[in-house]
Structure 1
């Protein structure tokens, strides 16, 4: 009889595919910047993603009451801010470095919620990695300082996305929450992208790529992650997701021909170590009652 794939092994495959499709989709999105800029690319990604997620999860069937809508609005604004700031960041700096800097958001949430002194080591790894990525203003090949600040700003929005995502957790399923949050982000940023780029967003050269970016960087990874979370512990999921900066750097190299120095790879490795360490520490902390 043929062997069946174990649920845990299937979960590992799903997480890896989710990270690969996400970073590949973002790499494709970066190729749209010369045509419609980060603003137009963000508008297409959020707009198409909101449509897809709403069609799948139908959030109007369990629309939150008036007093429960503010956390979802802030959650959606955090999601939108994370997208637009990150796209503006990777317009200026390599994709892998942008993802590593953006990871400071969830890292800060995880480490600041800890009360263990030994977690200071992971904080030190994260800080060391960030400092190694900070631009050397005297070097000819230094990183763009504005790009670095934008990536850190995207990380701050990611932290808000996590915190307010947890607050909205008791208002419906995770899928409905993401669909509503994505809709809020789209309502704010699609008009901004449309005003900024005008008719360029509606060309047949751009629309198929925008749809592809939305599927690869939002709809498909989210679906794969949901499958993975059903078949593996949250801690294992978090540890695997810590590899995302490295996968982003490889996607940037393969799709965008972005080369990183050994020093920059070492910095990314330190951020990954800090993320894995914080995930291991969470095992001993009480699990939150509601998560998105």
Structure 2
């Protein structure tokens, strides 16, 4: 039985489904991670998440099988550095911002990837619709409440790293997606560990924090990054980037259901526009499109 008949990864439906499942997993994990902040802080939660995820992925995938050399680490290094920076800045944004708003700000990164990779007028129409939804969703006019400037800065920085994550992930994942995720997560954990230890110290050993961190590691790193890697190496950069506009909606729903973070009707309408843009981009991917040059 071939790859196409098993899971459809060579078509559009498979990668799109993997991407959506990954986003749901990440945002559920983010809601759980916010419950860790009172114990270990944002940086400590990031370090614990990546450390646990690295151990899980190493044990599950055993990346040394088939040989593991410097070329493999070199290929995964940019991806891992960006992965660590993206997680650290996003969790620091979540300290003062609702998940839906933080993800909406962070989405400027994938939106930029989609914009720069687009070639057809219809692609720009979907991007414009998503951008219009973001303008309404973000309370920059005061209608949606105050946005903490430090939180916004961290979220925008996370967006920059998210854009680089897409670019480096597509390039590094072509020669072994699961191995790249494993090695990249190990690199990210090593990068963030000193920051987390300096910030949280012995609090990271608190018994109540460990099961929460383990759950976050699985939901927000180990599972979704493998799914995203499998998806992004099979979708054009513009399609993957625009499809990620579902993330603010999923984040807002996760914050509402798990943390009680509410949004106004206007903001939910904006989320609807973003979802429509994502669906339009996914449907557009059903037509043959040349993959974008990661460079």
Under TM normalisation by the shorter chain, which class is it?
0.7 to 0.9
In 2, are the aligned partners of 1:97 and 1:264 still within 8 Å (CA)? no
Structure 2 residues not aligned, in runs of 5+:
1-5
Taking the aligned partners of 1:140 and 1:243, their CA distance within structure 2 comes to 20
Correspondences of 1:1-292 after superposition (within 5 Å):
18-61=22-65, 62-66=67-71, 69-136=73-140, 141-170=145-174, 172-222=175-225, 242-282=245-285, 283-287=287-291
Taking the aligned partners of 1:169 and 1:140, their CA distance within structure 2 comes to 39
In 2, are the aligned partners of 1:107 and 1:278 still within 8 Å (CA)? no
Structure 1 residues not aligned, in runs of 5+:
1-5
Superposed CA deviations along residues 264-291 of structure 1, whole A, max 9, x for unmatched, are 222323333333334444444213699x
In 2, are the aligned partners of 1:97 and 1:249 still within 8 Å (CA)? yes
In 1, are the aligned partners of 2:81 and 2:188 still within 8 Å (CA)? yes
How many equivalent pairs are there? 277
- Gap change, CA 1:224 and 1:157, over 3 Å in 2: closer
Taking the aligned partners of 1:85 and 1:221, their CA distance within structure 2 comes to 18
TM-score normalised over the length of structure 1: 0.81
Q: Which moved more, 1:130-139 or 1:110-119?
A: 130-139
Deviation at 1:214, TM superposition (A): 0.6
- Gap change, CA 1:33 and 1:59, over 3 Å in 2: same
Q: Which moved more, 1:173-182 or 1:10-19?
A: 10-19
In 2, are the aligned partners of 1:71 and 1:164 still within 8 Å (CA)? no
Superposed CA deviations along residues 184-222 of structure 1, whole A, max 9, x for unmatched, are 110010121011110000111111111111112222334
Q: Which moved more, 1:142-151 or 1:207-216?
A: 142-151
Deviation at 1:234, TM superposition (A): 5.0
Superposed CA deviations along residues 4-36 of structure 1, whole A, max 9, x for unmatched, are xx967x969876654433322210101111111
Q: Report the aligned-residue RMSD.
A: 3.1
Deviation at 1:106, TM superposition (A): 2.1
In 2, are the aligned partners of 1:22 and 1:217 still within 8 Å (CA)? yes
